[in-house]
């Protein structure tokens, strides 16, 4: 690990003033569950690391005017223990609890999960975010069993590592980012994740000199559930996930959303699959149709076609869980 300057500011203004204008010059330390590993592996070698642990404004969960506001430095264990989250957002509870061990829940933060870097082994072994060697795609020509099965025509073939991101998208969340000039801007969850076009870019729409400060989720009666397919129950990232959310009136679904995770460089909005749920009383037949529609646009790589069936199963079971039915 290369030496670096360490700063632990007490205010958001101080923190944003310490950030850089280019990615990699400065790194933000939240819980450290991803960054510490990245520093040790030489994936990043910043001149400065800015810790957010002393900024109280970034911590905690508050309910205000029909909105649940989650500070980006809120620990995952606090998220799963919150009564409003338990009441309204079981999908969020499932996703957070599935992240892994008690240590991860204790140290990991909500913002850290949203901003963590991909787990792609080409990236983690020094071949850049796009996993290339010159003009050659190591991912496309090599072992790609855990890589993308959607939007695979482009160069970004890693999968988004965030467990909470797909859920926040399904729940119509809005993120707040603060910059060094004191200004803040709102970013929809769907717009937060982006597909990088080069190794110098990042996987989200934050600027290098911005801090993710808050996640705002509308507090409304929405049926929602997440289903994840993992090799093991703890410490592994999922092969595929699905989050389903919809409004229910007299047992009929409307305004449905189906978001797929860990199958592309960003969470995937399965709009046609969501349409298959609208206007229906969701049962096994409807959930099966929804799942079939969801995988129609999948374009697997040479070694990961098996993820299509896993995605199909995740969508079906998430839809049934959200509807309160059994798979």
pTM: 0.95
Q: What is the predicted pLDDT for the residue at 132? A: 95
Work out the percent of the chain whose per-residue pLDDT is above 70.
Answer: 98
Half-sphere exposure of 285 (CA within 13 A, CB side): 2
Reported as a pLDDT band with limits 50, 70 and 90, residue 181 is confident
Reported as a pLDDT band with limits 50, 70 and 90, residue 326 is low
Whether residue 171 has pLDDT greater than 70 = yes
Break the chain into its structural domains and give their ranges.
144-158+222-327
Measured CA to CA in angstroms, residue 275 lies from 40, 84, 144, 264, 324 at distances of: 45, 28, 31, 21, 19
Residue with tokens 């905690």: 60
Q: What's the fold here for domain 144-158+222-327?
A: Enolase-like; domain 1 (3.30.390)
SS3 of 83-145: the string is: HHHHHHCHHHHHHHHCCCCHHHHHHCEHHHHHHCCCCCHHHHCCCCCCCEECCEEHHHHCCCC
Q: What is the predicted pLDDT for the residue at 104? A: 85
Q: What is the predicted pLDDT for the residue at 231? A: 82
> What strands lie across the sheet with 26-29, from one edge to the other?
5-7, 48-51, 26-29
Whether residue 72 has pLDDT greater than 60 = yes
Chain centroid to CA 198: how far?
Answer: 20
How high does pLDDT run on average in the chain? 95
Tokens of 61: 């969960």
Average pLDDT over residues 224-250: 89
Tokens of 29: 């330390």
Q: What is the predicted pLDDT for the residue at 100? A: 72
Euclidean distance between CA atoms 50 and 5, whole angstroms: 8
Average pLDDT over residues 199-222: 96
Secondary structure E strands in the chain? 5-7, 26-29, 48-51, 61-64, 67-71, 132-133, 136-137, 174-178, 184-188, 211-218, 223-229, 240-249, 252-261, 268-269
Measured CA to CA in angstroms, residue 162 lies from 183, 223, 241, 262, 276 at distances of: 26, 22, 11, 8, 26
Tokens of 255: 């305004």
Is 289 in contact with 174 (CB distance < 8 Å)?
no
Asked whether the CA dihedral 157, 163, 164, 170 is positive or negative, the reply is positive
- pLDDT tens, position by position, 271-318: 999 999 999 999 999 999 999 999 999 999 999 999 999 999 999 999
Q: What is the predicted pLDDT for the residue at 260? A: 98
- pLDDT tens, position by position, 20-55: 999 999 999 999 989 998 999 889 999 999 999 999
Say how many C-beta atoms besides its own lie within 10 A of residue 297's C-beta.
Answer: 14
- pLDDT tens, position by position, 112-150: 999 999 999 999 999 999 999 998 999 999 999 999 999
Whether residue 234 has pLDDT greater than 80 = no
Euclidean distance between CA atoms 6 and 2, whole angstroms: 12
Q: What is the predicted pLDDT for the residue at 33? A: 87
Euclidean distance between CA atoms 319 and 230, whole angstroms: 18
């Amino acid at each position: 690990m290369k030496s670096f300057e360490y700063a632990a500011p007490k205010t958001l203004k101080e923190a944003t003033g310490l950030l850089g204008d280019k990615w990699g010059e400065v790194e933000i330390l939240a819980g450290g569950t991803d960054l510490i590993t990245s520093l040790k592996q030489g994936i990043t070698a910043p001149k400065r690391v800015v810790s957010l642990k002393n900024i109280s404004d970034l911590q905690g969960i508050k309910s205000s005017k029909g909105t649940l506001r989650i500070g980006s430095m809120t620990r995952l264990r606090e998220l799963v223990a919150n009564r409003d989250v338990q009441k309204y957002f079981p999908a969020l509870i499932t996703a957070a609890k599935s992240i892994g061990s008690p240590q991860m829940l204790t140290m990991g933060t909500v913002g850290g999960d949203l901003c963590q870097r991909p787990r792609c082994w080409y990236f983690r072994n020094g071949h850049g975010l796009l996993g290339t060697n010159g003009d050659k795609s190591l991912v496309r020509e090599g072992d790609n069993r855990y890589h993308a099965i959607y939007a695979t025509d482009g160069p970004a073939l890693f999968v988004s590592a965030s467990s909470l991101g797909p859920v926040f998208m399904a729940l119509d969340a809005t993120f707040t980012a603060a910059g060094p000039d004191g200004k803040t801007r709102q970013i929809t969850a769907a717009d937060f994740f982006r597909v990088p076009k080069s190794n110098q870019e990042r996987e989200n729409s934050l600027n290098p000199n911005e801090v993710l400060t808050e996640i705002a989720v509308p507090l409304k009666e929405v049926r929602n559930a997440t289903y994840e397919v993992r090799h093991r129950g703890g410490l592994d990232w999922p092969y595929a996930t699905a989050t389903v959310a919809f409004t229910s009136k007299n047992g009929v679904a409307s305004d449905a959303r189906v978001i797929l995770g860990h199958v592309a460089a960003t969470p995937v909005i399965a709009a046609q699959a969501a349409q298959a749920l609208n206007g229906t009383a969701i049962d096994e037949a409807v959930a099966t149709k929804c799942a079939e529609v969801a995988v129609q646009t999948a374009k697997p790589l040479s070694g990961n076609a098996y993820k299509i069936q896993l995605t199909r199963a995740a969508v079906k079971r998430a839809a049934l869980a959200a509807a309160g039915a059994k798979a």
